[in-house]
Amino acid sequence: MALRKFYNEIKGLKVKEFPNHMKPMLSLNYVKKSVQRGMDNYHAKYIEHKLS
């Protein structure tokens, strides 16, 4: 799903626009937030669901 979303985002970009689109996604803060969001989603879906 994430790969499909990413592909659809870059599909319409021109070659010169691509680096400017990718730079924010390669920052350490963006990666940390993405991992944290994924862990939160996992916790909400699997851990909290089993506890209730």
The pLDDT of residue 47 is: 83
Domain ranges of the chain: 2-51
- Cα–Cα distance, 44 to 9 (Å, whole number): 27
**At CA 21, angle to CA 19 and CA 27, rounded to 5?**
85
* pLDDT tens-place string over residues 15-35: 999 999 889 888 999 999 999
pLDDT at 8: 92
What is the predicted pLDDT for the residue at 48?
76
Provide the whole-model pTM.
0.61
Residues 5-17: tens digit of each pLDDT: 889 989 989 999 9
